[in-house]
């Protein structure tokens, strides 16, 4: 049984150009996520999945320099790209994260993998973590089935492809309300200059942030709890709506 982390990444962002390679704490933002995903104990591999567009050559070069795998596929059909990457790497299960989220919790990723594997879920998610600190776990076979059912090519936001009505076995891992990381109202994703300003404050106020000492999610949340003014930096950011994905019913 092979489990792999697949990090979806592109350099086409317009609100914050080339954000995933933007320096954060003296190194590319995506490297913070890489360090955290390397600490997912139940994952065998970590791979960046990007596009074949020339603009994303820099991401492929970063992956080579950082010593991680890189799969290049369809520019717009992220779900299909993910399925192809999983097939090429021989993965049975995929941990899906995006490069917009430098603070994804490896601890909760491991918990979600355990839940998905023990329950045989096609799609598993976490509820209760800050926006941008969670991940998804999927069966590779479920990704392929969703690709067969979808009738849309733009799948940048693909979560709606996995519903019970399409024949998928879904599961959810809920963070207890009393947990120190239960902060669903906090926004930790990086999509705008305001989001990046918050990430910079986290880096500055919680050193060190290097490959040997990535901060725990509860440390980041404790900083935000103790310094609520930091949350004002991106409180007005509106998450871009997802494009609808047409699906046919499972035969």
194-213 per-position pLDDT tens digit = 999 999 999 999 988 888 88
Which of the residue ranges 10-14, 54-58, 68-72, 177-181 would you say has the lowest mean pLDDT?
Answer: 10-14
Domain extent, residue 91, equals: 3-234
User: Is 240 inside a domain boundary?
Assistant: no
Q: How many residues does the chain have?
A: 251
User: Domain holding 204: CATH number?
Assistant: 3.90.550.10
Encoded tokens for 82 = 């993910």
Q: Tell the residue number behind the tokens 């290097």, with chain if given.
A: 210
pLDDT for residue 244: 86
Distance CA 133, CA 181 (A): 10
Distance CA 227, CA 204 (A): 13
Distance CA 154, CA 223 (A): 37
User: Is 107 inside a domain boundary?
Assistant: yes
pLDDT for residue 251: 56
User: Is 251 inside a domain boundary?
Assistant: no
Which of the residue ranges 58-62, 155-159, 176-180, 244-248 would you say has the lowest mean pLDDT?
Answer: 244-248
User: Is 38 inside a domain boundary?
Assistant: yes
Over residues 71-98, mean pLDDT? 97
pLDDT for residue 209: 81
User: Is 242 inside a domain boundary?
Assistant: no
User: Is 43 inside a domain boundary?
Assistant: yes
Q: pTM of this prediction?
A: 0.96
User: Is 166 inside a domain boundary?
Assistant: yes
Condensed to tens digits (0 to 9), the pLDDT of residues 140-163 reads 999 999 999 999 889 999 999 999
Domain count, the chain: 1
User: Is 243 inside a domain boundary?
Assistant: no
Nearest to 92 by CA among 138, 145, 41: 138
């Amino acid at each position: 049984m092979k489990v792999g982390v697949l990090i979806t990444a592109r350099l086409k962002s317009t609100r914050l150009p080339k954000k995933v390679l933007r320096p954060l704490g003296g190194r590319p933002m995506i490297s913070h996520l890489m360090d955290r995903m390397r600490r997912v104990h139940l994952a065998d591999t970590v791979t960046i999945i990007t596009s074949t567009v020339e603009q994303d050559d820099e991401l492929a070069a970063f992956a080579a320099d950082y010593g991680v795998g890189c799969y290049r596929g369809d520019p717009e059909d992220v779900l299909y790209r993910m399925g192809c990457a999983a097939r090429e790497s021989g993965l049975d299960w995929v941990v899906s994260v995006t490069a917009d989220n430098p603070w994804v919790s490896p601890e909760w990723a491991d918990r979600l993998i355990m839940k998905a594997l023990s329950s045989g879920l096609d799609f598993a998610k976490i509820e209760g973590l800050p926006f941008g600190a969670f991940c998804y776990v999927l069966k590779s076979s479920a990704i392929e089935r969703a690709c067969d059912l979808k009738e849309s090519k733009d799948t940048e936001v693909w979560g709606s492809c996995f519903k019970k009505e399409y024949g998928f076995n879904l599961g959810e891992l809920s963070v207890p309300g009393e947990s120190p990381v239960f902060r669903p109202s906090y926004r930790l994703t990086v999509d705008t200059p305001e989001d990046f300003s918050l990430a910079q404050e986290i880096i500055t106020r919680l050193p060190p942030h290097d490959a040997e000492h990535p901060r725990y999610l509860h440390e980041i949340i404790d900083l935000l709890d103790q310094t609520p003014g930091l949350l004002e930096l991106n409180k007005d950011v509106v998450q871009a709506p997802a494009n609808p994905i047409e699906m046919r019913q499972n035969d």
